[in-house]
A = this chain, B = another copy of it.
Amino acid sequence: MPHDLPPDGELTVFTLGGFGEIVAGADLASLIAAAVDSRLIDGDILAITSKIVSKAEGRQRAATDREQAITDETVRVVATRAHPGGVTRIVQNRQGLIMAAAGVDTSNTPDGVVLLLPVDPDASARALCTALRARTGLRLGVVITDTAGRPWRDGQTDIAIGAAGLAVLDDLRGTADASGRRLDVTAAAVADEIAGAADLVKGKTSGNPVAVVRGLAHLVGDMTLAGASALQRPSETDMFRLGTNEAHDEGYAEGYAAGRAAALTEDAFD
């Protein structure tokens, strides 16, 4: 397994600068290949902000349709919270990701439009990775990143919403630690850590939508490796599949009906 090799001890992340405004139909692989020039080496991973992928794929709607766009992208409502400006909806979207506003994005977008996430970010990553490998002759990986909030911790981190050509999970389960003891439950979500590392350099406002992550060649492998959707925990096994208030409300309604029925049954036997 390529990802069982140790890291080579140094990680470097650098950006490629801006690409100008990306329009629908843009050939992102060509633009990236041109920007990266001859700076790539074998084993590099490209971390690409989903926003430019969405723009190239024409995934935009009128800003006035924002609420409807969120509804249309929603598969399952996970939690909602009212606030003075409206209602924040945390939902599972068509891509399987749990995100505020279904990942519909209004920052760094052209005037008057909102951006939707790519329809299938793993497919987008595979297409980009295949094209970039063909162009450069190098063994490369591609991670498509987006910014997401998370339970329990303030602030957002970038995560991998699409990936190709690399191990997204560095599965150490069953291997031994430095003392020879089994590491039972350790599987590092390396694609998410790569997305976060790239965000540290790309930033949010800098017009740097692509970063090269170098030093993780041991994670780069063939194009059949699982994409970032493999990092999505199925909601059936997710201990936090619903918001606390939503789960409480569901339980209350079920309990109320059951309690009422039980009392009436008792009464019938009085």
Of the residues B108, B157, B181, contact of A188 by C-beta under 8 Å: B157
Task: Using known A-B contacts A7-B203, A255-B256, determine if residue A158 contacts B193 with beta carbons closer than 8 Å.
Answer: yes
Q: Are B11 and A201 in contact (CB under 8 A)?
A: yes
What is the CA–CA distance of A193 and B213 in the complex, to the nearest angstrom?
Answer: 14
What is the CA–CA distance of A11 and B207 in the complex, to the nearest angstrom?
Answer: 17
- Could you tell me which residues of chain A, from 187 to 234, have a CB within 8 Å of some CB in chain B? 187-190, 192-194, 196-197, 199-201, 203-208, 215-216, 230-233
What is the CA–CA distance of A245 and B254 in the complex, to the nearest angstrom?
Answer: 13
Q: Tell me if A177 counts as interface (CB < 8 A to partner B).
A: yes
Binary contact readout A145-184 vs B (1 if CB under 8 angstroms, 0 otherwise):
0010011111111110000000011101001111101111
What is the CA–CA distance of A81 and B11 in the complex, to the nearest angstrom?
Answer: 37
What is the CA–CA distance of A200 and B254 in the complex, to the nearest angstrom?
Answer: 46
Q: Are A154 and B169 in contact (CB under 8 A)?
A: yes
Q: Tell me if A262 counts as interface (CB < 8 A to partner B).
A: yes
Given A178-B205, A239-B243, A240-B244, 15 more pairs with CB closer than 8 A: A6-B206, A7-B200, A11-B12, A11-B13, A11-B197, A12-B13, A79-B239, A107-B184, A108-B178, A152-B233, A153-B232, A157-B193, A239-B245, A245-B247, A248-B254
Q: Which residues of B contact A258 (CB under 8 A)?
A: 252, 255-256, 259
Copies in the complex: 2
Interface residues of A (CB under 8 A from B): 6-7, 9-15, 79, 81, 90, 98, 100, 106-111, 147, 150-159, 168-170, 172, 175-179, 181-190, 192-194, 196-197, 199-201, 203-208, 215-216, 230-233, 238-264, 267
Q: Are B177 and A107 in contact (CB under 8 A)?
A: yes
Q: Which residues of B contact A152 (CB under 8 A)?
A: 98, 150-151, 232-233, 238, 240
Of the residues B79, B200, B207, contact of A216 by C-beta under 8 Å: B200
